[in-house]
A and B are shown apart, each in its own frame.
Chain A
Amino acid sequence: MASLKDFRTRIASVKSTQKITKAMQMVAAAKLKRAQEAAEAARPYGEKVAGTVANLAASVKGSDAAPKLLRGSGKDQTHLVVVATSERGLCGGFNTNIVKKARELITSLEAQGKSVKLLTVGKKGRDQLKRLFGAISVGHIEFAGVRSLGSAQSAQVSAKLVEMFDAGEFDVAHLVFSRFRSVISQVPTVQQLLPVVAPEGVKTADIGGGVYSYEPGEEAILEALLPRYLDSQILGALLENAAGFYGAQMGAMDNATRNAGDLIKKLTLQMNRKRQAMITTELTEIIAGAQAV
Chain B
Amino acid sequence: MATSGKLHFSLVSPERALFSGDVDQVVVPGVEGQFGVLSQHAPFMTVVQQGAIRILDGSAERRIFVGGGFADVTPDGLTILAEDAVDLSQLDTAGLERDVQNAREDVRDAKDSEAKAAAERKLARLEAIRAAA
Binding site for B on A (CB under 8 A): 38, 41-42, 44-46, 48-49, 52, 150-151, 154, 205-208, 210-216, 220-221, 224-225, 228, 231-232, 235
What are 17 A-B residue pairs whose CB atoms fall within 8 Å in the complex?
A: A38-B15, A45-B14, A48-B79, A52-B72, A150-B14, A151-B83, A154-B14, A205-B43, A205-B74, A206-B75, A207-B75, A210-B43, A213-B45, A216-B46, A221-B47, A231-B14, A232-B14
Pick from B13, B44, B79, B83: contact of A212, CB below 8 A. B44
- Write out the residue numbers on chain B whose beta carbons fall within 8 Å of the beta carbon of A221: 45-47, 70
Task: Tell me the B14-62 residues at the A interface (CB within 8 Å).
Answer: 14-17, 30-32, 42-47
- B83–A215 touching, CB < 8 Å: no
Within B44-94, which residues are at the interface with A (CB < 8 Å)?
A: 44-47, 70, 72, 74-76, 79, 81, 83
Q: Is B45 within 8 A of A212, CB to CB?
A: yes
Q: CB < 8 Å: which of A46, A151, A214, A232 contacts B45?
A: A214
Give the residues in chain B near A208, CB-CB below 8 Å.
75
Q: Quote the shortest CB–CB distance from B42 to chain A (angstroms).
A: 6
Contact check, B12 vs A44: say whether CB atoms are below 8 A apart.
yes
Q: Which of B14, B31, B70, B81 has the most CB of A within 10 A?
A: B14
A49 with B75, Cβ < 8 A, contacts A42-B14, A151-B14 known: no
- Smallest Cβ distance from B95 to chain A, in angstroms? 20
**Is there an interface contact between A215 and B81, defined as CB atoms closer than 8 Å?**
no
Query: Which A residues lie within 8 Å of B13 (CB)?
Result: 45, 151
Residue of B nearest to A214 (CB): B45
- B75: nearest residue on chain A (CB-CB)? A208
- A206 surroundings in chain B (CB, below 8 A): 74-75
With beta carbons under 8 angstroms apart, the residue of B32, B44, B70 that contacts A216 is: B32
In this complex, what residue of A is CB-closest to B30? A215
Shortest distance between the CB of A127 and any CB in chain B (Å) = 25
> Do A41 and B15 touch (CB < 8 A)?
yes
Residues of chain A within 8 A of B30, CB atoms compared: 215
Q: Chain B residues in contact with chain A, CB under 8 A?
A: 10, 12-17, 30-32, 42-47, 70, 72, 74-76, 79, 81, 83
| Majority DSSP secondary structure for residues of A touching B | helix
- A48 and B14 alpha carbons, distance in the complex (Å): 10
List the A side residues contacting B31 at CB < 8 Å. Answer: 215-216
Question: What residues of chain A lie closer than 8 Å to B16, measured between beta carbons?
Answer: 41-42, 44
Residues of B within 8 A of A151 (CB): 13-15, 83
CB distance from B73 to the nearest CB of A (A): 9
- Given the known interface contacts A210-B75, A216-B31, A221-B45, the answer about A52 and B14 at a Cβ–Cβ threshold of 8 Å is no
- Which residues of B have CB within 8 Å of A213? 42-45
Tell me which residues across on chain B come within 8 A of A211, comparing CB atoms. Answer: 43
Closest chain A CB from B32 CB (angstroms): 5
Which A residue sits closest to B69, measured CB to CB? A228
The answer to whether A215 and B72 have CB atoms under 8 Å apart is no
Instruction: Enumerate the 10 nearest inter-chain pairs by beta-carbon distance, A residue then B residue, closest first.
Output: A41-B16, A205-B74, A151-B14, A215-B46, A207-B43, A45-B12, A212-B43, A44-B12, A44-B17, A210-B43
Q: Report the separation of the CA atoms of residues A186 and B17 in the bound assembly, to the nearest whole angstrom.
A: 26
Partner of A52, one of B32, B45, B75, B76: B45
